[in-house]
Amino acid sequence: MNNQLRGYATVDQRITINYQNSSIVLSVITPEIIRVFQDHGEKGTSYAIEGNKTIKTNFTVLDHGDHLELTTAALIVKIYDNEKIDVYDKDGHPLIIDYQGERTPIDRGLDEAHAKLVAAEGHDIAGGSDKDKTYFEVIKSLATDEQIYGLGDKTGYLNKRGYEYDNWNTDNPAPQVESFTRLYKSIPFMLGLKNGHPYGLFFDNPYRSHFDLGKENVNYYFYSAVAGNLDYYIIGGSHLRNIVTNYTYLTGRVPLPQKWVLGYQQSRWGYSVSPEKVQEIATKLRENDLPCDVIHFDIDYMDGYRVFTWNKEKFTDPQAFVSRLRDQGFRVMPIIDPGVKQDKKYKLYKEGIKKGYFVKNPDGTVYVNKVWPGDAVFPDFGREEVQQWWADNCKYLVDTGTAGIWDDMNEPASFEGEIPDNIVFSEGKYPSTHKKLHNVYGHNMAKATYNGLKKYSHKRPYVITRAAYAGTQKYSTVWTGDNQSLWPHLQMMIPQLCNLGMSGFTFAGTDIGGFGADAAAEMLTRWIEAALFSPLYRNHASMGTRAQEPWVFGEPTLSIYRKYLKLRYRFIPFLYDLCYKETKDGLGIMRPLVLNYDQDPVVRTMNDEYMVGDELLVAPVIQEGQNTRAVYLPAGEWIDFWNGVEYAGKRSILVEAPIDKLPLFVKKNTIIPWGPEVSHISDEPNETMTFHLYGQHASYTHYQDNGLDFAYQSGEYNLYQIKASQNGATIDMLHNGYDKNYRKIFVELNDQKLTFEFDPQTQTYVQQ
């Protein structure tokens, strides 16, 4: 290969690099984000990035003879012959270096005949996207000391080095194991630490793609795709957290949720077989003093699994039933699938057929596959008018009083084989293929659902989606899909949710206790503890498995479960503050330690601890039968949440962790808001708030609004600054736009409790 560099041309912040046989365009988006693009003839716009993200940026391009050098305030990009591109930080540390050699594919000793035999027997054939099936690939050098994170909720450890993954949204009901290369989401964004220096790479291509992160060869990692343009973003920053902030600047941030979404949520496929069953669960939750805000309705509430219907034989008056649950403090979250039952008497099907809203075979006939209702057709969500139609149908559920919508089966899943690549899906006004739009099908469905809920409920939409693409976080929360009641799945929860958070999906959860198989009391107990700060805090199980409600297991499971639900609700003001901050910086509630301490080599491969914001460290017990564990405390000083004992950081300690104890530590010199003990989150604002000082002195900013709608976007919110030391405390209003100020604020110091009352005349807080 000899594709010599011939020069460049600059227009605004776009630099076209001309080669003997090709060209590449580098676009300076910000000082820390540079886009690399090569046109392969693929039309269409980004699904992940909405709007123009380019800001005015100073940069230089210099010709050094053997290479060009593009420099911003944060990045240095060197461009060589043969389309080789190397990236350094502003101090010259290498970040992303093109590999100079050729790939050395693994010799698997498998000829075509034996490959067919292996596949026929039911075994997967390893190897991902073979080179002869790849349209293009990008190969980068891998340093000896280099860790890789991100890619959403792929299986395995936090550090993805040594793994390979495919981006092809897949519903596989088998137990998720480390060898799974693909799950429900395709988020082609990776973060790296090369010799301690952070970077990000986002490959914005919805086609099927493959990441090999040093599995094939320890000296390189590569990305390949079966089609599409070469289109990736180089992302720089001083620390890993800056990489996440910059990536979410590009692809969007999780919007502020309704406050009650942070509450506990109870679910099972099987509750909605009858209103009596749902009411039984609601009653037992309250009788057992278990705080809960949401009960989920799986597919059985529908009429023959027809979406946007209720089974009126079972639920004769859905609106009245949902209202009765609401009076008991519960909100209802119904599931919706994209598959529309093929039924000429079914309103939704008739409308979609009449308007041509379903995906088609190449011959123009409507494509049919099977899902829950039997023969079903699939909305063509790539078209704006189909998204609007779907959004308008959400009104039916909103009008019955439901509080959100849970989008499932939107990979899209199908029972009679995978949808063929050539099925016609639309991209805007133009026909495209399932091959291109498969990975964004769930994204477009979630967007339609979000817009429908926003339009008709006038509240902040609560959407959960199983399938997603980069950027879906703007429209929906997610969960990791159909996990199992297995200890390895509890263990995988932490790296999955932490990598989702670093991939922009900061509001996520797992099915607590496991969806499939039978949960055991010890496992369920440790799971509700370990997931205490999981943003989506939902127990969900499959029909046909052991009931997974805590009272089923008796004592001590029930009491311990209750203890942690009550503790969760005390922390909700703190979690809500973190949600507000996330809208500004993209950093989530649940974080791997490496996100906060990326210069500490010990935490770069840590899988069994996590941070909550900057303030809390959680070290769950995730091994069966374990009652003690080692806990690594990073730099600083830490306070045991349960007994107040202080520990110096940068060391490991041994902690007693009996079945009722979650090892939990507070960073010294921190203030934590502390909510009241409640059975659910009320629509009425709290009249009081408590702030607790851990250590000698701290400052904290607290956010308050009505917790429901979009009034905060018009300034209807309050920001409180609490400063405290052992000598006293002050409270200042940084923003005073919400008229439901706390009547009283309490500040708890180590040995005293201070009381402040709001003076409506001076609009200040006065110590009593």
Q: How far apart are CA 755 and CA 768, in angstroms?
A: 6
Q: Which residue is catalytic, options 89, 98, 231, 411? A: 411
| Residue 299, burial from CB neighbour count under 10 angstroms (0-12, 13-18, 19+) | buried
Name the CA radius of gyration of the chain, rounded: 26
Strands 94-97 and 136-141: unpaired
Strands 688-694 and 764-767: unpaired
* Whether the Cβ atoms of residue 517 and residue 491 lie closer than 8 Å to each other: no
Residue 701 has a CB neighbour count (10 Å cut-off) of 15
Query: In angstroms, what CA-CA distances link 527 with 167, 555, 602, 697, 734?
Result: 28, 16, 25, 34, 39
To 5 degrees, how large is the angle CA 119–CA 164–CA 533? 115
DSSP class of 515: S
- 612 beta partners: 590, 616
- 28 beta partners: 34
Q: Strands (DSSP E) along 104-206, which ranges?
A: 136-141, 146-150, 164-167, 185-186, 189-194, 197-203
- Token code pair at residue 195: 């010799």
Per the listing, tokens 């990979």 go with 411
Helix (H, G, I), strand (E, B) or coil at 639: strand
Is 375 one of the catalytic residues? Answer: no
Q: How far apart are CA 323 and CA 330, in angstroms?
A: 9
Is 276 one of the catalytic residues? Answer: no
Q: Which residue is catalytic, options 153, 300, 482, 609? A: 482
Strands 94-97 and 637-640: unpaired
Strands 75-79 and 85-89: antiparallel
Query: In angstroms, what CA-CA distances link 181 with 109, 178, 207?
Result: 21, 8, 16
Residue 744 has a CB neighbour count (10 Å cut-off) of 14
Amino acid at 519: A
Q: How far apart are CA 134 and CA 527, in angstroms?
A: 41
Q: Which residue is catalytic, options 408, 529, 549, 748? A: 408
To 5 degrees, how large is the angle CA 500–CA 504–CA 505? 50
Q: How far apart are CA 198 and CA 303, in angstroms?
A: 52
* Whether the Cβ atoms of residue 748 and residue 722 lie closer than 8 Å to each other: no
The backbone region for 525, taken as left when phi is positive above 0, alpha when psi lies in -120 to 50, beta otherwise, is alpha
Torsions phi, psi of 285, nearest 5?
A: -60, -45
Buried b (16+ CB within 10 A) or exposed e, 630-659: ebbbbebbbbbbeeeeebebeeebebebeb
Per the listing, tokens 């082609």 go with 188
Is 411 one of the catalytic residues? Answer: yes
Catalytic residues: 408, 411, 482
